[in-house]
Structure 1
Amino acid sequence: MVPIADPLSFAEVLRRHRHAARLTLEQLAEASGVSARSLSNMERGRSRGPQHRTVTALADALALDESARRQLVELARDGRLRDHWTRPTGLCALPRSVGDFTGRAPELAWTNDLVHADASPGVAGVGLITGPAGLGKTTFAVRAAHALRPDFPDGVFFLDLFGMSPHPVAAGEALALLLRALGVEDRDMPGDVPDRASLYRSLLEGKRVLVVLDNAASEEQIRPLLPGGSHGRVLITSRRLLAGLEGVRRLSLGPLPLAEATELLTGIVGDRSASDGERALTQLAQVSGGLPLALRIIGNRLVSRPGWSAAELVARLANEERRLEQLSAGDLKIANAFGMSYEQLAGSARQLFRRLALVPGRDFDAALAAVAGGISAEDAWDALDELVDLGLLQDGASGRYRFHDLVRLFARDRLQAEDAAAERDALIETVASWLLRMATTTAGRWFEPAYRCPAGPDADLTELSSPEQADRWLRVNVDNWLGALRHAASSGLHSAILDCAESMNWFSDRWMHAPHWYEVFTLGAEAAAVLGDPARQAKQLNMLAWVHLVPRDDLETTLRYTAQAIDLATRSGATVQIALAHHHAGGALRRLGRLDEAIAAETQAAGIHKANGDMDRYCQCLGALGTCLRDAGRHTEALEQYLDLLALLNDDRSGVTPSVAVFTRPIALARVGECLGLLGRRAEAIITLTEATGLMEQVQLPVLQARSLETLAALLAEEGRTGESRHAYARAAEVYEDVGDTAEGDRCRDLAAASP
C-alpha cells in the first residue's frame, strides 16, 4: 500500500513555484514588492500564513495560473488559522467567575465527568444544562469553565446566543463570531452556514478546546455550533429543554438546598452577616425558594443599604402581594427574568399560565389545567409541555405539575394585570365547583357501601372507574379540593360543603391519619348548623369525635363531641347517629380504662345498628366490643366475638356490603391473631397475623398493618424465630416511615436491631 503523503505546506509550494520560475529570493522580492527577508521567513516556515495581499502579489510575480494561484491563497489562509492557536485573540473570552459562588458540588462533578469521559469516535462531548430563569445556569457554566480551563490548553470560548431575546443570534452569525475568535479574517469568512460550520469543525479538529454556548434558543441554532472531533467539549445552557438535540448529556439545574442558599446569601452580604443573624438570613433564603438570582437581589439590597436589617427585609417580603416588587436591586429584577420566558410563549400558553395561578393546591394534573384554562385536555397537554419546556412549570411524577413559589406569584401578577376582575372571579368559581364535584360525586362516593359506578348517560361524569383510582385522586389532589372547600365556606355555599364532608365519611377510614380531617368535618358541622339540619350536624359531630379518637388521640374531646351528637340526634330522631355516637364514645372510654362503660356503649350501639338492619356498622361495633373484652382480660370471650365477626364477613348472605367486608376482614383477622397470642396459641397466631398483614397492605391500612407487624414480630421472637422477627420489625418501620411517622419507624428499627 502506498502511504498517503502529508499535505504540502505554503512554504514548500512557494519554494517550488520560485524554483520553477528560475528566480532567486532577491529577484522574486524585486518583482513582487515583498522583502527578501519576508520571503525567506515564508520559505522556512516561520511565517506560515502571510496576508492575502502579499500572497496575491507573489502569485502575480510568479505568473501562476488560476489553479495554482487558488492553491497558494488557500494554503496561506490555513496557515493564518493555525497561527491563531499560538496567540490569544480576546474574542469570545470567558467572563469572570463570581467570587462568592456557592454549592453545586454534584453538578460541578458532572461537568468534570463530562470532560474526562471517553467520547464516541468523531463525536465531541456535549453537556446541556437546563433550568428555569434565575437558577444561575450562566454563572454555573462560567464557574465550571474556569475550573476546567487547565484541561483545554488550546482555548476556552464563550458565546451568548441571546436565546430569550426577540432576536436570538442566528447560527451563521454565531459561527462568524466563533471563527473570528479562532483567527479567521472577514475576507476569508465563508458565505453560508454549512461552509462556516465545516471550517469551524476543521479548525477545532484535534484541538483541546472548550466552547460555552450560553442561553441557547433552539436546536437549529445549536447544531451547527457543535464540533465534530473527540477532543473538544461543549457546555450549553438554555431555559428550554432542547429535547431534539441528540447525543448530548443533560443536567437539569434545580434550586439550591436551604443550607447552600443561606451560605450563598451569607457570602454576598459579607461582614454584616454577623449582625443580621443566621435566623433572619435563613428566612430570606427560604423566601428566595433557592433561586440564586433572588438571593443575589436580596444580598445586594442589604449590602447597598447598610441601615436596613435582614429582619426588616424579611418583614417586607412576607407580603406575597408585594414580594416580586421587593425582589429587585438596580437592573436585577426577578420579575424581568420570568418575563423573558413568559414573552416566548404562544398566546394560549400565556393564558393558561396566568390562570393556573388560581389553582388552590401546590400541584395539579392536565385535567385540572384544562378546567382552569377552559380548553380541551389535548390543548392543555400542548400548553403544559410549552410551559415545562421554558421552565415556567416543573413536571413531576405521574403527570403532576407545579410552580416554583416565585413563578406562581409572577403568574398571579400577570393574571391581575391582563385579565378582568369579573373573568378572574368566574374562573375561581369554575375551578372550585369542578374540584368539589370531583371530590364529592366522582371520587368520595366510591367508598359508600351502596355506591355504584355511573353507567349509561351518567357515565361521562367521571373518569374514575375504580375505588383505587378514586382513592389516588383524593390523595394527590387533597390540597386542591380542600382549597375549594375553603372557598365554598367563604362564599356561603353550605350545601356544597356539607355534601363534600359527608362524602368523605367512608373514605376517611382508608386515610385515617391524614392531617386535614378536623378541618373538613368542622366545616361540615358548621354548614349543617347554618342549614338548620340537626341530624346532619350530629353526623358531622360524630366524624369530629372520630377525628379526636383516632388521628388526634384526644379522648376527652371525643366524649364531648359524642355527647353533643347524641343530644342533636335524639332531638331529630336520627337513631343511626345515636348509635355512632355510642360507638365512638365506647372507643374513648375503652382507652381511658373505663371498660365496663365502654362495653355498655358498644353493646348499645350494636343493638341499634342490628335493629336498623345496618350490618356494616353492626360489624364495626362487634369488632369494637371484642377489643373491649380483650382489654378487660377476657381473651376467650374476645376471641369468640372476633370469630363471630369473621363468620359474618365471610357469609355472602349476611347483608354486609362486599367492599366493607373486604376492608374489615383483615382487621378482624388481626384481632383474632392477637387473641390467639394472648391465649398462648402462638403458632396459630403467627399464621393468622401473617395473613392479616398481607390483606392490610392490599386494602391500604398502613398504620394498622404496622401495629400488627409489631405484634407478629414479638410472637416470632417468643418462638425463637429471630430472623423472621427482625424482618417483621423492619417491615413495620418501613410502613410507619411511609406514612410519615418517623418516631415509630425509628422505634421499630431499634427493636429489629435489638433482636437476639
Structure 2
Amino acid sequence: MLRRHRRAARLTLEQLAEASGVSARTLSDMERGRSKGPQHRTVTALADALRLAGAEREQLIELAREGRLRDHWARPTGLCELPRPVDDFTGRSAELAWAAEVMRAGEAGPGLITGSAGLGKSTLAIRAAHTLRPDFPDGVFFLDLFGMSAEPLPSDEALGMLLRALGLTDQQLPGGVGERASLYRSLLRERRVLVVLDNAASEEQVRPLLPGGGTARALVTGRRLLAGLEGVRRLSLGPLPPMEATQLLTGILKDRGTPDADPALWDLAQLCGGLPLALRIAGNRLASRPGWNAADFAARLTDEERRLDQLSAGDLKIATAFGLSYDQLAEDTRRVFRRLSLVPGRDFDAALSSVAGGTSIAGAWDALDELVDLGLLQDGASGRYRFHDLVLLFARERLRAEEPAADRDAVVDAVTSWLLRMATSAGSWFEPIHSHRDPELTGLSTQEEADRWLRANVDNWLGALRQAADRGGHAAVLLLGMSMIRFADRWMHAGHWPDVFTLGAKAAAALGDLPRQAAHLNALAADQLVSGGDMEAALRYTAQAMDLAVRGGSSEEIASAHHFAAGALRRLGRLDEAIEAQSRAAEIFKADGDVEAYSHCLGSLGTCYRDAGQYPQALEHYLALWDLVNDDASGLLPNAAAFTRSIALARIGECLGLLGRRSEAIARLTEAIVLLEEAQVLAVMAGALQTLASLLAEEGRAGESRQTYARAAEVFEAIGDSDASDRCRDLAS
C-alpha cells in the first residue's frame, strides 16, 4: 500500500524520505515487507508527506498498528530479558538519577558505568533499567558480554542475539559484523528501546552494539575504563558510604529472628570496605546462620589473613571476583600488583612503584595504567595511587602464593632502603649544609619539591623508618632523624614527630652517639612546645639532652637544650628563669656563629619579655631579629631568612598592638600574614589573624574584623585547633 501511494504521488524513495524525514532505508524495508509494524509517528509522517486524508490515511495507519501487534506477539520471548532487580537494593540515589538523566536526554550518547570488582555495577544498571522501563515501550534488553572471561562474547554473536530479540529470524540475519551492526542500528533508529550491555570487555566489542542515533539508548557496564569509546557519558562507581553500607546489611538481615546491634553492623560494613558484593556475602552468611551474630562475625573479619576466606557464601566469593580481573593482567603487571602490597603507606606514586615492582619508571606507568583500567587500583590527585582495603588483602594473598619468602624479603629491603634514602635526602634540603643529600637519587631538585615529597609520602617513609628500627638499622634511622630536625620546623603540627625523634634517639643510643642522641631529645622537647603538650616532659628531655651534650662536648646541643628549656619555662610562667636560659642559649649560638639558631633565640626572648608585660623590651628584641633577617651579610640562608622574616614581622605587629600603636600594628600584621601564608607557617598565621581581627574591631572596622576572624577560624581548623577555631567563628558571627 505504501508503494502504491508513493507511486501515485510520483515520488522516488529518496524524495519521500526527504519530504517525511523517514530514512530511505526504513522506507525500503517497509515496502519490501521487512518492516511490517512501523511506529505510529513514522506512519503519520509518511501520510502527511503523501497528503493522504480520510479513509486512505486511516487505512495506512491501521495496517501499521496491526503489524506492530503481530510483531509483538511474534517476537521470541525470553531473549535478552532483563534480570530481576534485587529487593533490598540500597542507596545509589545520585547514580540512579545520573542514569535516568542520561537515558532520557534528547541527544545523549551511551551511558558507561565503570569500577572495580564487587561495586555492584550490574546491579545498579539493572535497577536503573527496571525504573526506566516505562520510558522505553518498545523493549528493554539485557546482554552479558562476559568481559572478564577468557573468551568474551564476540560482537557478531552479541548482535545475533539482539537482532533475534528484536524479532528477526535466523534466516534474516546477515553474516558479517558490519552488516549485522547496520541492520541493528536501522531497527533501533525508529524504536524507543533501552539496551543494557553488561560486563563489557573492550571498545571493539562494544562499538557495534551501540545505537546509531534516534530514540534508542544504551547503558554499558564494565571493569575496564573503555577510554577509547567516543561520545559516552561516564560514571565511575565507588564503594558505598558507611551509612548506606550499613543500611544494605540491615536490609539483607531484616528477616532474621534476632536483630543485630547497629554498632556491630557498622563495624561489619567498615570491614567490607563498602563493597556491595562483600556486604552481600557477609549478609548472606549471617542470614543463612541464625545462630551467628554480627559482632562475632566482625571479630572474625578483623584477622586480615583470613578475611578474604571468610567473605564467601556459596558461589559468591570476593576473591574470585578480584581474581577475574587479576587473570586479565600481563605477567609483568601482576608482579607489580603483588609487590605493591608491600608498600608501607596508604598510597604511592610511579617512582615507588618502580622500586617495588623491580621495573623502570616507564614500566611502572604502564602497569599502573593497566591496574587502574581494570579497577584494581584507584588513582587520585597528583599521580598517586592506592588499593581498596580488600584488594590490598588479595594482592598480599597472591604475593604469598606466587613468590618465595626470599623474594618478598628482598622487595621489602629495596623499598625500605629507597624510602629512607629519599626521605633523608629530602630532609637535607632544610639543613644549613646539605650533608645528607644522596646524589644517586633523582626527582628532588628544589626545596619545594623536597617539601612536597615528604608530605605526600609521609606514611611510606614513616613505615620504612619503623621497619628499619625493628630490624636494627640504627645508622639509617639516625641519619633520617637528623635530617628531619629542621624540616619539623616547617611542618610543626604533624603528629608523627614524637615517633621519628624517639626512634632516632634510640638509634643514637645504640650507636653510642651522645651529641646526636641529645639532638633528638631536644627535638622531642621542641615538639612538646609546638603541640602545647607536657611542659614538664619537655624539661625532662632538655635535662637529659644537656647531660648528654656536656658529656659529648657538643656546644650546639647545650645551647639547644637551654633554648627549648626556656620555651617550657615560659609556658610554665617561670619567666625570669626562661629569660636567663634563653639569654644563655643566644650567647652560645652567637659565639659558635650559628646565626639561624641565634635568630630563633632573639625571637624567643622577645616572646618572654612580651609575656612578662615588658612590651618595649619585647619590641626591641623583635626589631633586632627583623634587622638580622634583612641583613644580607648576616649569613642566614635565604630560605631561613624568609621563613623567620614572616614570623618576626607578625611578632612586631602584635607587640605594636600591645603598645597601643594600632594603625602601625594593623599595617605590619597585614603584611606579615601574606608572608606567613607564602611560607605556610599556619600556626603563627592563625594567631596573627586573630590579633589583627581584634585590632580592626577596636578601630571600628567591624566588617573587616568579621572577615578576618572568619579566616582565622579556617586556619585554626586547618591546624587542628578546634577550640580556637570555634572561638573565632563565634566572634566572626
TM-score by length of structure 1 reads: 0.88
Partner of 2:657: 677
- Report the CA distance between 1:720 and its aligned residue: 1.0
- Report the CA distance between 1:199 and its aligned residue: 1.1
- Report the CA distance between 1:12 and its aligned residue: 9.8
Partner of 1:623: 603
Letter in 1 for 2:105: A
Q: 1:460/1:529 Cα in 2 relative to 1: closer, same or farther (>3 Å)?
A: closer
Matched, 1:109 2:97: yes
Q: 1:485/1:613 Cα in 2 relative to 1: closer, same or farther (>3 Å)?
A: same
- Report the CA distance between 1:391 and its aligned residue: 0.1
- Report the CA distance between 1:336 and its aligned residue: 0.2
Partner of 2:692: 712
SS in 1 for 2:559: helix
Partner of 1:155: 139
Query: Distance between the aligned counterparts of 2:668 and 2:427, measured in 1?
Result: 32
Query: Distance between the aligned counterparts of 1:685 and 1:274, measured in 2?
Result: 68
Matched, 1:395 2:383: no
* Gaps in structure 1 of 5+ consecutive residues: 15-42, 51-78
Aligned length: 689
Partner of 1:187: 171
% identity of equivalent residues: 66
- Report the CA distance between 1:274 and its aligned residue: 5.8
Letter in 1 for 2:717: E
Query: Distance between the aligned counterparts of 1:462 and 1:552, measured in 2?
Result: 37
Query: Distance between the aligned counterparts of 2:500 and 2:667, measured in 1?
Result: 39
- Report the CA distance between 1:47 and its aligned residue: 9.1
Partner of 2:404: 420
Query: Distance between the aligned counterparts of 1:565 and 1:336, measured in 2?
Result: 56
RMSD: 2.3
Q: Is the 8 A contact 2:74 2:167 kept in 1?
A: no
Q: 1:272/1:597 Cα in 2 relative to 1: closer, same or farther (>3 Å)?
A: farther
Letter in 1 for 2:219: L
- Report the CA distance between 1:88 and its aligned residue: 6.4
Query: Distance between the aligned counterparts of 2:640 and 2:128, measured in 1?
Result: 60
- Report the CA distance between 1:45 and its aligned residue: 10
Query: Distance between the aligned counterparts of 1:333 and 1:9, measured in 2?
Result: 49
Q: 1:580/1:44 Cα in 2 relative to 1: closer, same or farther (>3 Å)?
A: closer
Q: 1:470/1:82 Cα in 2 relative to 1: closer, same or farther (>3 Å)?
A: farther
Alignment of 1:88-127 (within 5 A): 89-119=77-107, 125-127=109-111
SS in 2 for 1:216: coil
- Report the CA distance between 1:732 and its aligned residue: 1.6
Matched, 1:444 2:424: no
Q: 1:145/1:741 Cα in 2 relative to 1: closer, same or farther (>3 Å)?
A: farther
Q: Is the 8 A contact 1:81 1:183 kept in 2?
A: no
Partner of 1:384: 368
Aligned with residue 668 of structure 1, among 645, 648, 668 = 648
Partner of 1:20: none
- Report the CA distance between 1:105 and its aligned residue: 0.6
Query: Distance between the aligned counterparts of 2:28 and 2:282, measured in 1?
Result: 61
Q: 1:730/1:47 Cα in 2 relative to 1: closer, same or farther (>3 Å)?
A: closer
- Report the CA distance between 1:657 and its aligned residue: 2.5
Letter in 1 for 2:234: R
Q: Is the 8 A contact 2:521 2:545 kept in 1?
A: yes
Partner of 1:515: 495
* CA offset digits 1:299-334 (Å, max 9, x no partner): 011111111111111111011111111111111100
Query: Distance between the aligned counterparts of 1:8 and 1:186, measured in 2?
Result: 21
SS in 2 for 1:410: helix
Alignment of 1:170-249 (within 5 A): 170-249=154-233
Letter in 1 for 2:229: L
Partner of 1:531: 511
Query: Distance between the aligned counterparts of 1:269 and 1:740, measured in 2?
Result: 40
SS in 1 for 2:409: helix
Query: Distance between the aligned counterparts of 1:309 and 1:682, measured in 2?
Result: 66
Moved more, 375-384 or 81-90: 81-90
Matched, 1:734 2:731: no
Q: Is the 8 A contact 1:11 1:48 kept in 2?
A: no
Q: Is the 8 A contact 2:626 2:645 kept in 1?
A: yes
Query: Distance between the aligned counterparts of 2:255 and 2:728, measured in 1?
Result: 47
Letter in 2 for 1:250: R
- Report the CA distance between 1:750 and its aligned residue: 1.9
Partner of 2:732: 752
Moved more, 579-588 or 731-740: 731-740
Q: 1:328/1:636 Cα in 2 relative to 1: closer, same or farther (>3 Å)?
A: same
* CA offset digits 1:69-128 (Å, max 9, x no partner): xxxxxxxxxx79982488562210000000000000110110111122220xxxx63100
Query: Distance between the aligned counterparts of 1:627 and 1:274, measured in 2?
Result: 64
Alignment of 1:537-552 (within 5 A): 537-552=517-532
Alignment of 1:236-635 (within 5 A): 236-272=220-256, 275-441=259-425, 443-451=426-434, 459-635=439-615
- Report the CA distance between 1:545 and its aligned residue: 0.7
Letter in 1 for 2:102: L
- Report the CA distance between 1:460 and its aligned residue: 4.8
Query: Distance between the aligned counterparts of 2:582 and 2:597, measured in 1?
Result: 11
Query: Distance between the aligned counterparts of 1:8 and 1:649, measured in 2?
Result: 88
SS in 1 for 2:590: helix
Q: 1:717/1:304 Cα in 2 relative to 1: closer, same or farther (>3 Å)?
A: same
Q: 1:45/1:734 Cα in 2 relative to 1: closer, same or farther (>3 Å)?
A: closer
Q: 1:449/1:12 Cα in 2 relative to 1: closer, same or farther (>3 Å)?
A: closer
Q: 1:241/1:11 Cα in 2 relative to 1: closer, same or farther (>3 Å)?
A: closer
Q: 1:632/1:174 Cα in 2 relative to 1: closer, same or farther (>3 Å)?
A: same
Query: Distance between the aligned counterparts of 1:462 and 1:731, measured in 2?
Result: 38
SS in 1 for 2:259: helix
Query: Distance between the aligned counterparts of 2:509 and 2:435, measured in 1?
Result: 30
Query: Distance between the aligned counterparts of 2:502 and 2:28, measured in 1?
Result: 91
Partner of 2:53: none
Letter in 1 for 2:402: E
Q: 1:273/1:480 Cα in 2 relative to 1: closer, same or farther (>3 Å)?
A: farther
* CA offset digits 1:655-674 (Å, max 9, x no partner): 22322111111111111001
- Report the CA distance between 1:44 and its aligned residue: 10
SS in 2 for 1:128: strand
Aligned with residue 116 of structure 2, among 123, 132, 140 = 132
Q: Is the 8 A contact 1:81 1:182 kept in 2?
A: no
Matched, 1:689 2:669: yes
Letter in 1 for 2:153: V
Q: Is the 8 A contact 1:48 1:83 kept in 2?
A: no
Q: Is the 8 A contact 1:672 1:685 kept in 2?
A: yes
Query: Distance between the aligned counterparts of 1:494 and 1:541, measured in 2?
Result: 16
Q: 1:11/1:551 Cα in 2 relative to 1: closer, same or farther (>3 Å)?
A: closer
Query: Distance between the aligned counterparts of 2:287 and 2:657, measured in 1?
Result: 69
SS in 1 for 2:580: helix
Query: Distance between the aligned counterparts of 1:239 and 1:278, measured in 2?
Result: 32
SS in 2 for 1:236: strand
Q: 1:49/1:507 Cα in 2 relative to 1: closer, same or farther (>3 Å)?
A: same
Q: 1:409/1:546 Cα in 2 relative to 1: closer, same or farther (>3 Å)?
A: same
* Gaps in structure 2 of 5+ consecutive residues: 1-8, 18-26, 35-58
- Report the CA distance between 1:745 and its aligned residue: 2.9
Query: Distance between the aligned counterparts of 1:614 and 1:568, measured in 2?
Result: 20
Query: Distance between the aligned counterparts of 1:683 and 1:48, measured in 2?
Result: 87
Query: Distance between the aligned counterparts of 2:32 and 2:332, measured in 1?
Result: 65
Q: 1:13/1:738 Cα in 2 relative to 1: closer, same or farther (>3 Å)?
A: closer
